[in-house]
Amino acid sequence: MTSSMFYDRDLSWLSFNYRVLMMAADENVPLYERIRFLSIFSSNLDEFFRVRMPALLALRQLDDTSGGVLARVQQTVASQLEAYGKIFTGDILPALEREGIHLYYGDPVRKEHASAIRDYFLSIVSGFLQPVHILLDQPAETFLENNALYLIVCFAGDAHAVVNIPSAQLPRFLQLPDQCIIFLDDVIRHHLPDIFPGKEVTGCFSVKVTRDAEIAVDEFSGELLQKVETMLVQRELGLPTRFLYDMKMPQELVLRLAAYFRVLPQEMVTGGRYHHLKDLADLPMPVKKSSFTYPPMPPARVRPLDGETRLLDTVLKGDMLLHVPYQHYDYILRYFNEAAIDPDVQEIYVTLYRVASGSQIVHALMSAARNGKQVTVMVELKARFDEANNVRWAKRMKDTGIKILYSIPGLKVHAKVALIKRKRGRKWDHVGLLATGNFNESTARFYTDHVLLTAHSGITQELELLFIYMQTGIVPAAYNFIHFEHLLVGQFNLMDRFTEMIRREAENARAGFPARIVIKLNNLQEKQMINELYTAAEAGVEIDLIVRSICCILPRKNIRIRRIVDRYLEHARVFIFHNRGEEEVFTGSADWMERNLHRRIEVCFPIYDPVYGQQVKDILAFQLADNTNAVILDEEINNLPAGKQPGERDVNAQQAIYAYVHQL
């Protein structure tokens, strides 16, 4: 296969973010949810500039041929930001006005609001300001913090100053009487004469610097926790990857600021009057209307689990598969809480990648340790942007007597698994928990995932082997005695088993048997797996892919690709192989990315119970039938509406799944 068979990963990700932006333009989406999608788009783009743009800039310096991709990325971002501005000013602001809500957007402060704004500035805001005069023709002495907001203020006589906008310490918006809202930025702009008395202000422009988040950690020497803590400080001092500035700023000033702050021309990006618009997620709602947000979708109860006092005993009778957030996450909390107080539980093992800031699960683990149980936790300190939270929890858990395992050198542990061992007399019970998403009760409210509770002896024994391996830190090649028959484990058998199952479908197709593969992923980029899918499709295998974000495979004969963006974040990974009618269903933590398949410990697990296997297949069937929010990806990874056939009824996958799960 040639490189033309693979779409660029960064452009495909930008295609996904554009789909998020289009949700903000969709008048069928409730107004404040549309605003939330604007926030998500902005947050995603900030992360792109922190994580991906440094690599693109570095590649351009090493290889001139990569400049074409960088140029396309920059053009795409500029086009999307232009669309963002049109949606915000042309659609969202007028829609707010129709609801009697006025958001100041560069317009003068009304007389009736001046007093309230001044009181807020003098009593609250002014105490957080650090105005600094700068001399643009001298070496820079001012450092702009990562993703912080600033105003560049111009004075008569070619003088300039920088004023911080303290949005990290104060709300970004101030709610005023008469259902009006004003940006914190404009509260400060309105009072520049108070900040610089006696100065003639001739211009004021917002700027923001995004800095490189990729800081290497030497994992092979020294204390990893201390190294990660040092890395967190260094990250905020990283090199600029984007200098975002108000498009109304004079070009001469743009060039002078670039030279002063030592920013390269390709790192200068035009924006609007306001930056950091992920803060729109916190836009006040002066008028409360049910039509402003999605209607409530309370999660369903699981009757077999509600009918038993002891969840662990219920799982011993048979597997349980949960579909969150359509079903309650409480049962996952019960799993850990019950283990903490059950006198027969001797040992608890769990991997933690991203946990909630106030994690109930971690509190249960700490209680278990205080109750005399042996608790072992693999904490992935290298989970990007969650490092600080994970370091904090690791220290607290260690203080309670929990055995903390830190990252394996050269690998991230991305698996989402847990194991409880109970001893009753001479008999040991093993109850495992395997998930497609993090053990995080906060994100579980809006991430769609599958969670398996099982006492299957083969699966739980292999979980125990995996935790033994994670405690040693020895490279997998040295562990020849570890054999996984049921689980698909990254660094051991995951790629080989997926390859075998794809090739089996291709052989079946060549032999004239029906052959089909259905895969749902967050990201699909790894070239070896893509080539396997291309080969299978050429052999006649029907392949349906649901890829939410990065998608480097291209549609071909027998390959169909779709994307779903809706109120919930589609997060589950699912793999279904027809296998001559004896379908095999797997779910798990692994996306098909270079990093997941080659540099992480991932776990995918089979759904053996035919009832639950059918539930997973039914859920994917709803997603493949979605003709309202689903889009089809073409050869340029454009988002084309799935559309309806004449006479076909509307199908919204998430609404259909919600109704389906409530009938189980």
| Residues involved in catalysis | 414
Phi/psi of residue 336, each to 5°?
-75, -40
Burial degree of 119 (CB within 10 A; 0-12, 13-18, 19+) = exposed
Sort strands 417-424 and 412-413 into parallel, antiparallel or unpaired: unpaired
Q: Measured between alpha carbons, how far is 259 from 254 in angstroms, rounded to an integer?
A: 9
Q: In what order do the strands lie in the sheet with 488-489?
A: 488-489, 603-606, 584-588, 573-577, 516-521, 542-547, 559-564, 630-633, 639-641
Place of tokens 């395997």: 434
DSSP SS3 for 295: coil
Taking alpha carbons only, the member of 83, 94, 84 closest to residue 39 is 84
Between CA 351 and CA 376 the distance in angstroms is 9
Note whether 448 and 299 are within 8 A (CB): no
Spatial contact of 431 and 315, defined as CB atoms under 8 Å apart:
yes
DSSP letters of 251-282? HHHHHHHHHHTT--GGGEEEE-S---GGGGGG
Contact 329, 356 (CB under 8 A): no
Backbone angles phi, psi at 333, to 5 degrees: -65, -40
Cis peptide leading into residue 409 (ω within 30°): no
Q: Cβ atoms within 10 A of the Cβ of 133, count?
A: 13
Please give the span between the terminal C-alpha atoms of the chain, in angstroms, as a whole number: 45
The span from the CA of 535 to the CA of 524, in Å, is 16
Strand 542-547 vs strand 516-521: parallel, antiparallel, or unpaired? Answer: parallel
Q: What is the DSSP letter of 325?
A: T
Tokens for 401? Answer: 């007597």
Residue that is written with structure tokens 């973010």 in the block: 17
Instruction: Report residue 623 as tokens.
Output: 């997603």
Which residues have a Cβ under 8 Å from the Cβ of 446 and sit 6 or more positions away? 325, 567, 568, 569
Name the 3-class secondary structure at 653: helix
Q: Are the CB atoms for 642 and 562 separated by under 8 Å?
A: yes
| Distance in angstroms (rounded) separating the CA atoms of residues 41 and 338 | 39
Do the Cβ atoms of 391 and 229 come closer than 8 Å? yes
Query: What is the identity of the amino acid at 600?
Result: R
Task: Name 207's bridge partners.
Answer: 150, 245
Among residues 416, 316, 414, 319, the alpha carbon closest in space to that of 361 is found at 416
Cα–Cα distance measured from residue 352 to residue 433, given in angstroms and rounded to the nearest whole number: 13
Asked if residues 546 and 521 have their Cβ atoms less than 8 Å apart, the reply is yes
The CB-based long-range contact list for 249-252 (8 Å cut-off, 24+ gap) reads 249/152, 249/203, 249/205, 250/203
CB within 8 Å of 545: residues ≥ 6 apart: 518, 519, 520, 521, 524, 533, 551, 553, 559, 560, 561, 562
Closest CA to 416 of 355, 366, 350: 350
